[in-house]
Amino acid sequence: MIVFDLGCENRHRFEGWFASNEDFERQLGGKLIACPLCGNANVARLPHAAHIKAGGNVRALRAEPAAKTLQQYANMGGEVLTRIIEHIIENTEDVGASFPEEARKIHYHEAPDRRIRGTASRQEVEALKEEGIEVVALPVPPHRAGKTH
């Protein structure tokens, strides 16, 4: 097993565990690796400094706990964030890429009031916010993004 420090284009850092370097390259090339915080699949390997050699002495650097990375989001640990995301997935309707359109219909009372989730670009999110529509970005893991209940 090999562990790599990874990061997405949104500057989130996380670890990836792979069977080999070839396994990592295969998954990276197939866009199978995504940020656990935001789902972004534009991932790159980051420099890793597990040990520093200084004058013949080797000392291990203390790595930040994985939960610390998840605390970037609303100062909460990974377990709490996971429970919140699971609750939201279970209690919202996934409208997928039509999220901006559906959010507008609900806001302007052209569709029934309901809790929805989906995907939107940054530009679409900003446009919704400018219209006074409350939108919150959540780091839904890719394996949960397709859940329709």
Whether 71 is in a domain gets the answer no
pLDDT of residue 105: 95
Tell me the Cα Rg of the chain.
Answer: 19
Same domain, 83 and 124: yes
pLDDT of residue 52: 42
Q: How many domains is the chain built from? A: 2
Whether 72 is in a domain gets the answer no
Same domain, 51 and 87: no
Whether 73 is in a domain gets the answer no
Domain that holds residue 87: 78-145
Same domain, 82 and 137: yes
Q: What are the CA-CA distances from residue 60 to residues 18, 67, 122, 135 (Å)?
A: 22, 20, 39, 42
Whether 131 is in a domain gets the answer yes
Whether 91 is in a domain gets the answer yes
b vs e for 117-149, b when ≥16 Cβ sit within 10 Å of the residue's Cβ? Answer: bbbbeeebbeebeeeeeeeeeebbbeeeeeeee
Q: Going residue by residue through the chain (149 aa), what tens digit of pLDDT does each one get?
A: 788 889 988 888 888 888 888 888 999 888 889 888 888 888 998 876 554 444 544 444 444 444 343 444 545 566 777 787 788 888 899 898 999 999 999 999 999 999 998 888 889 988 999 999 988 877 666 666 655 54
